[in-house]
Amino acid sequence: MLKKLAISLLTLFLGLNLLLAQSGEITVNKSYADGDIKISDEHISLMEIPDSVYFDGLSAIKIEGTDIYITPPKAFRLKDGSNNLLVQDWTSSNILIQQMPVSYKSMIANISAETFTKQGFEYINKYEAFTKSGNEGTVYVLGFVSGEWEYERLVLLSGDGKKTAWISANYPVMMKHLLFEVLEKSILNIEF
């Protein structure tokens, strides 16, 4: 029963994450000269977004509806209308935070490289890590293509005997040298 629940939740969240990445919701316009970015079908100027909506990279926030605290990278913000999707508009990067009522050990026991490849992802790597609060975790590095852009995704699963934090961080491969360490540090900085 737990195995079926874990697989169902995994499939649901992988699908949701892929949908978010492919939705165009955070697509960056190729013209940077005028300071405009394109989100969906609307153009907004970066100068029109108040600085107060951006995180400072130093303070932890509690994700509504979960027990998870995360320190978002500097210049990330909560996506409008969302309480668990952090975005940085001009790099097409995002972090999605979820908490599932399944033990970490049972979740990890049901995940393999094939789990991700069946969902259309390229399995790149897996490594063990510990979060700021000392919880054991597993980070998966995946690849996917959205439109013309190649992306990578860090998926952190961490938890205890009752719940699992599922955190996905997407970034364009062409910006990996700038974003990988920043996103990895942020997702491993969770407390719950």
From CA 139, how far away is CA 126, in angstroms rounded? 6
Pick the CATH number of 2-188 from 3.40.50.150, 3.10.129.10, 3.40.640.10, 3.40.1000.10: 3.40.1000.10
Examine the pLDDT at 103 and tell me if it is beyond 90.
yes
Which one has a higher pLDDT value, 178 or 11?
178
For the chain, the maximum distance between any two Cα atoms, rounded to a whole number of angstroms, is 54
Residue by residue, DSSP assigns 91-105 as GTEEEEEEEESS-HH
Does the pLDDT at position 169 exceed 50? yes
Q: Kindly report, residue by residue over 50-95, the tens digit of the pLDDT.
A: 444 577 778 899 999 999 999 999 888 888 888 899 998 888 999 9
Q: Which residue has the tokens 């909560």?
A: 78
Distance CA 42, CA 129 (A): 39
Quick one: pLDDT at residue 132? 92
Q: At residue 1, does pLDDT exceed 70?
A: no
Q: Residues of the chain with pLDDT > 90: what percent?
A: 60
pLDDT-based confidence at residue 161 (cuts at 50, 70, 90): very high
Mean pLDDT score of the chain, rounded to an integer?
80
Question: CB of 170 within 8 A of CB of 151?
Answer: yes
* C-alpha 111 chain-centroid distance: 18
The identity of residue 1, as a single letter, is: M
- Annotated domain spans of the chain: 2-188
Q: What pLDDT, on a 0 to 100 scale, did the predictor assign at position 43?
A: 40
